Chains A and B, each alone.
Chain A
Amino acid sequence: MEKQMLIFLSGGVRSGKSSLAEQVAIRHKHPEGRLVYVACGSRTDEEMEERIAFHQERRANSGYEWKTVEQSVDISTIHAGANDSVLIDCLTTLLAGEYFRKDKPPSEAGTRIVDGVLDLVKRTSAVIAVSNELSFEVPSTNLTADYMKILGQIHQMIVKESNTAILVEHGIPIVKKGAVQCTES
């Protein structure tokens, strides 16, 4: 069996994390596998449409073909093969999907996400999970605090299982765990 690969990237809004995650995914592309982009955000309004269009355009210009999948719950059910590299963008929006779905309890949203991601890691070539830094605030409402707590737990579990964990600040990757190959091989 081939080595499992899980890479975690986190950063603030507009920190360059999605762009970097795409480059990391391309670098881990299997010669016989596809690049699968999983968009977890819901198309809620015009602003979100613009953000989506911005990301779509960049992927279209990346020189590689991306298969885009929209999935905001049940991440492990996406179609991905053993050679595919899967970019999950992002855990925050995935948590919103799992947290507010009507048919399953929000208290288990974190476990559902971590289990789903680890299932994908087992059956694909590489998983790149993107998320948002949002844990330096004065604690606010109970709902926000609960959401942050679950997101923090997800991050801790994903970082623990990851081969590489990267914090992106102002477009600069800070490697917290593992290593990243920078030069052309």
Chain B
Amino acid sequence: MHFVTGGSFNGKKQWVKDFYNLDVTPHQWHSFYEKEQIPFFKEDIVVLEGMERHVRILLEKAETSLEANALFKKELSSWKKEERTIVLIGTDIMKGIVPMNAFDRMWRDAAGWCFQDAAAFSERVDTIWYGIAQTIKEE
């Protein structure tokens, strides 16, 4: 599993496309911005885009940030067992000022915990800054 993160509008998606040569490589691209449901995995490379949005959906189902985080950990452990390459793309929303809205604060907490787990479960983690990657974990 490969976790790719960084601020919004930093070119994370384009970097993943280039890194895995997705223009010519068979893959499955799923965007949580467009569809809430986790898809049925069928290709050797599966990209899940919008992990922070997915965390938000989990939070809507759960009562608390911690419960959302527990649900996410279950998903991660099942993805970890897959034989294919799973690429998670998530926008870092954890460095701004504290949101006024209580749900947004919970979302931010949940996203922070879930991203820590995504990083822990992944063999490789990259942060993207305007198209430039920094590999912060590689096993």
Chain B 6-26 interface mask (CB, 8 Å, partner A; 1/0): 011111001000000000000
Indicate whether B107 reaches chain A with its CB closer than 8 angstroms: yes
A136 touching B129, Cβ below 8 Å: no
A152 near B96 with CB under 8 A, answer no
- Taking a contact as CB atoms closer than 8 A, the residue among A10, A138, A165 that contacts B104 in the complex is A138
Interface residues in A75-96 by Cβ distance below 8 A to B read none
A63 at interface, CB cutoff 8 A = no
Chain A: number of interface residues, binned into ranges: 20 to 34
Task: Say whether, besides A159-B131, A165-B130, A139 and B93 are in contact (CB < 8 Å).
Answer: yes
**What is the size, in residues, of chain B's interface with A at 8 Å between Cβ atoms?**
21
- In the complex, the answer to whether A137 meets B96 with C-beta atoms within 8 Å is yes
Q: How would residues 107 to 142 of chain A score, 1 for a CB under 8 Å from any chain B CB and 0 otherwise? A: 000000000000000000000000001011111000
A-side contacts of B93, CB under 8 Å: 136-139
Give the residues in chain B near A138, CB-CB below 8 Å: 93, 96, 99, 104, 107-108
Task: Decide if B92 is an interface residue (CB 8 Å cutoff).
Answer: yes
B positions within 8 Å CB-CB of A: 7-11, 14, 92-97, 99, 104, 107-108, 129-132, 134
**Considering the complex of A and B, which 7 residue pairs feature the smallest CB-CB distances, nearest first?**
A152-B9, A137-B96, A136-B95, A135-B7, A159-B130, A155-B130, A156-B11
Residues of A within 8 A of B (CB): 10, 133, 135-139, 148-149, 151-153, 155-156, 158-160, 165, 167, 176-177
